[in-house]
């Protein structure tokens, strides 16, 4: 397939979060997997949920292991006015504000203020990475104005409306996949666990392991046996070879935007593995 290295396509409803490894540049290909026969969209590694926001499914399940991410989606879904009010209290594009929010005890915040904090840190952190220290505290450094600004209120309102039919689940990907049914389209975009080379060096190595790859492969087989459509996106690697065995796949060239410096961003191959 031709390279997917052009600018991310414009979306009717763009995600309000930045996310390391976002598949926005693959949307023209990924969107073709969603058809009228699908009744529900299921995504166990939600991240910025760019495909979900692009296709506007009538029903959805969005899951993620990151509790702060899911809590933020819940607040944007149910209490968007309060979240926007809290965001407006924060100084825009300010290193001091960023460091203050990063150091704050999140248990002292209301749920909307906690969501506003997450959005602010996500917007101005280095490369949209979510990483914590051993105490579970967010510790990604400030990146600043080159990340752009906090999205306009209209973006949040659109996302809030799109989230209305979505069920939000915090937990391991199996917790979400156990809810999958025939008629669903399941999209799985797990963190990379590449032994030979770290595609995303910023991810904690414990984020996704070879054991998780084996679990994911097992679920692909279970979904296929139950005649549930799925797509898995994964970097070309030995692990991808395990995942693609006996399934259809497409190879797409993409430009990585995770290195942080333009000189180190390069074209790599991404596999889209599917039983469709």
Quick: pLDDT tens for 66-121. 999 999 999 999 999 999 999 999 998 899 999 999 999 999 999 999 999 999 99
Q: d(Cα 113, Cα 165) in Å, to the nearest integer?
A: 24
* Domain spans of the chain, in order of start: 24-67+165-274, 85-159
What percent of the chain lies above the pLDDT cut of 90? 71
Cα distance between residue 95 and residue 16, in whole Å: 21
d(CA 248, CA 273): 6
pLDDT confidence band for 2 (50 / 70 / 90): very low
Looking at the chain, the whole-number percentage of residues with pLDDT higher than 70 is 87
Does 229 score more than 70 pLDDT? Answer: yes
Hey, how many other C-beta atoms are within 10 angstroms of the C-beta on 165?
14
Q: pTM of the prediction? A: 0.89
- What pLDDT score was predicted for residue 132? 84
Residue 33 C-beta-side C-alpha neighbours within 13 Å: 30
CA distance 187 to 23: 11
Mean pLDDT rounded to a whole number for the chain: 88
Q: Residue 256 has what pLDDT?
A: 61
Instruction: Say if residue 203's pLDDT is above 90.
Output: no
| Nearest in space to 188 (alpha carbons), one of 52, 54, 70 | 52
Residue range 172-189: mean pLDDT, rounded: 97
Angle at alpha carbon of residue 122, lines to 10 and 177, rounded to 5°: 75
- Cβ atoms of residues 121 and 87 within 8 Å: no
Q: What is the CATH number of domain 85-159?
A: 1.10.1020.10
Going 95 to 96 to 100 to 103, the CA torsion angle's sign is positive
Question: What is the number of other CB atoms lying within 10 angstroms of the CB of residue 149?
Answer: 10
Q: What 3-state DSSP class applies to 61? A: strand
- Is the dihedral angle over the CA atoms 178, 274, 208, 132 positive or is it negative? negative
The predicted structure's pLDDT at residue 130: 87
Burial code of 132-141, b = ≥16 C-beta within 10 A, e = fewer? Answer: eeeeeebebe
Q: Which residue has the higher pLDDT, 51 or 5?
A: 51
Tokens of 142: 């400030």
Q: Are 56 and 161 in contact (CB under 8 A)?
A: no
Is 24-67+165-274 in CATH node 3.10.450.230?
A: no
Instruction: Read off the pLDDT of each residue in 198-212 and give the average, rounded to a whole number.
Output: 60
Q: Which has the higher per-residue pLDDT, 260 or 122?
A: 122
Alpha-carbon gap, residue 274 to 264, rounded angstroms? 30
Higher confidence at residue 165 or residue 204?
165
């Amino acid at each position: 397939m031709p390279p997917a290295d052009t600018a991310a396509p414009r979306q009717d409803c763009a995600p309000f979060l930045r996310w390391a490894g976002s598949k926005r540049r693959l949307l023209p290909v990924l969107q073709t997997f969603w058809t009228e026969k699908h009744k529900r969209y299921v995504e166990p590694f939600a991240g910025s949920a760019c495909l979900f926001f692009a296709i506007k499914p009538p029903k959805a399940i969005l899951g993620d292991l990151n509790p702060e991410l899911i809590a933020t989606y819940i607040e944007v879904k149910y209490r968007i006015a309060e979240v926007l009010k809290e965001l407006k209290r924060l100084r825009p594009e300010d290193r001091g504000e960023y460091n203050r929010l990063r150091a704050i005890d999140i248990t002292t915040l209301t749920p909307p203020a906690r969501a506003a904090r997450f959005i602010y840190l996500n917007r101005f952190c280095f490369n949209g990475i979510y990483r914590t220290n051993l105490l579970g505290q967010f510790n990604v450094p400030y990146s600043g104005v080159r990340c752009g600004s906090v999205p306009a209120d209209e973006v949040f309102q659109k996302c809030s409306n799109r989230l209305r039919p979505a069920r939000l689940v915090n937990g391991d990907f199996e917790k979400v996949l156990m809810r999958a049914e025939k008629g669903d389209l399941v999209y799985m975009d797990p963190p990379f666990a590449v032994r030979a080379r770290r595609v995303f060096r910023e991810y904690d190595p414990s984020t996704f392991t070879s054991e998780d790859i084996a679990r994911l492969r097992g679920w692909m087989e279970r979904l296929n046996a139950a005649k549930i459509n799925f797509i898995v996106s994964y970097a070309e690697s030995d692990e991808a070879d395990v995942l693609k065995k006996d399934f259809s796949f497409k190879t797409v060239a993409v430009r990585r935007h995770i290195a942080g410096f333009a000189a180190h961003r390069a074209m790599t191959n991404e596999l889209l593995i599917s039983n469709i």
